[in-house]
Amino acid sequence: MSTDKPTVEDAAPATADDEATSEGPETPAGEAALGPTPDAETPAPPEADEEPQPSWWHRDHPTFSALTGFFTGLLFVALIPAAYVGVLSLMFDNDRVEELFPFVLVTLVVPLALVANRRTRRYGIYFWIGIVLTAVVVVGVGSLVLWYLVDHQG
């Protein structure tokens, strides 16, 4: 077989860099050598001002942004209106809370901004999918239960 590309069986040529960083041969008892050879360079410790980078899962995995966006949308539908009403009810009476409740829709600016930004678009799209599907499930189950109660109990 004659090709210009190296095959799997072809070993890469050894360089001086490879020899300098190897740990050397194993000892006769089968144990590894006690450390790198004296001429090997030790890597410099990370500097204090460098922040650790996110792991591969958080940075590049294709389903990470989809899963986190969807479940963030689910939590957004469940928690934001409840927290908003809870805080308002501590400050105002019930009539005033009912008047101010539609202003919770202002929080929808956050997922809109996520979709508008190119860098966070995928996350924002799944955020909206989580919001819409959660709302559809809540309204669907609520209407089904209401239908059952009216039809079979009334």
55-79 burial, b for 16+ CB within 10 Å, e for fewer?
A: eeeeeeeeebbbeebbebbbebbee
pLDDT digits (tens, 9 = 90+) for 43-83: 666 565 677 776 766 666 778 889 999 999 999 999 999 99
Domain carrying residue 133:
56-153
27 inside domain: no
Q: Look up residue 43 and give its two tokens.
A: 């890597």
pLDDT digits (tens, 9 = 90+) for 113-140: 999 999 999 999 999 999 999 999 999 9
Arithmetic mean of pLDDT, 21-48: 55
pLDDT for position 23: 52
Residue 24, Ramachandran bin (φ over 0: left; ψ between -120 and 50: alpha; else beta): left
pLDDT for position 5: 57
124 inside domain: yes
20 inside domain: no
- Report if pTM > 0.85: no
- Count of structural domains within the chain: 1
pLDDT for position 106: 94
- Band (97; pLDDT cuts 50, 70, 90): very high
5 inside domain: no
pLDDT for position 64: 86
pLDDT for position 145: 96
24-33, 77-86, 96-105: the lowest-pLDDT one? 24-33
- DSSP codes of every residue in 80-139: HHHHHHHHHHHHS-HHHHHHHGGGGGGGGHHHHHHHHSSTTHHHHHHHHHHHHHHHHHHH
